[in-house]
């Protein structure tokens, strides 16, 4: 991971897809998985220490509820990295390119693929972390090529 160490309270936010995916994997390993995008993760009072979905871990990795008001963030870079992270993870989970239905926004569809995978009965935090780490390796390998 590119110099940013995991901490659920850290105000540092990764700006590459690989680092976001690795941070999310560590987060899921640390806090566990909750098989819903709503409830514990969402809304006022959500804590970075509570279980979350795979998408929720990615969102926390990208700074949701962790950004400090007095620190500058490159929101454009973070947003682009988060979109790429969702795409790379969705492609990993689908074992290839994800076909986007006509009229559907690609990132929204990638998020849906990740969310549906998370909801599979019996999904474990270990499986989620392994998928996130495998996707992180793919992202980091691609970064080394360019």
Q: How much is the average pLDDT of 94-108?
A: 95
Q: How confident is the model at residue 64 (pLDDT cuts 50, 70, 90)?
A: confident
Q: What pLDDT score does 66 carry?
A: 84
Answer yes or no: are the C-beta atoms of 53 and 118 closer than 8 Å: yes
**Which pLDDT value is given to residue 79?**
97
* Non-local CB neighbours of 66 within 8 Å, separated by 6+ positions: 8, 9, 10, 11, 13, 48, 60
pLDDT tens across 25-44, in order?
999 998 888 765 554 444 44
pTM: 0.86
Which pLDDT score, from 0 to 100, does residue 33 have? 85
């Amino acid at each position: 991971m590119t110099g940013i160490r995991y901490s659920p309270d850290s105000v540092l936010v990764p700006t590459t897809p690989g680092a976001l995916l690795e941070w999310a994997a560590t987060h899921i390993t640390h806090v566990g998985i909750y098989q819903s995008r709503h409830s514990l993760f969402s809304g006022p009072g959500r804590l970075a220490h509570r279980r979350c979905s795979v998408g929720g871990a990615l969102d926390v990795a990208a700074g949701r509820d962790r950004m400090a008001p007095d620190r500058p963030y490159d929101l454009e870079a973070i947003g682009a990295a988060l979109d790429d992270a969702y795409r790379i993870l969705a492609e990993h989970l689908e074992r290839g390119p994800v076909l986007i239905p006509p009229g559907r926004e690609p990132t929204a569809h990638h998020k849906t693929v990740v969310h549906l995978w998370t909801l599979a009965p019996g999904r474990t935090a270990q499986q989620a972390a392994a998928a996130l780490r495998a996707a992180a390796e793919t992202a980091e390998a691609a970064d080394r090529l360019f």
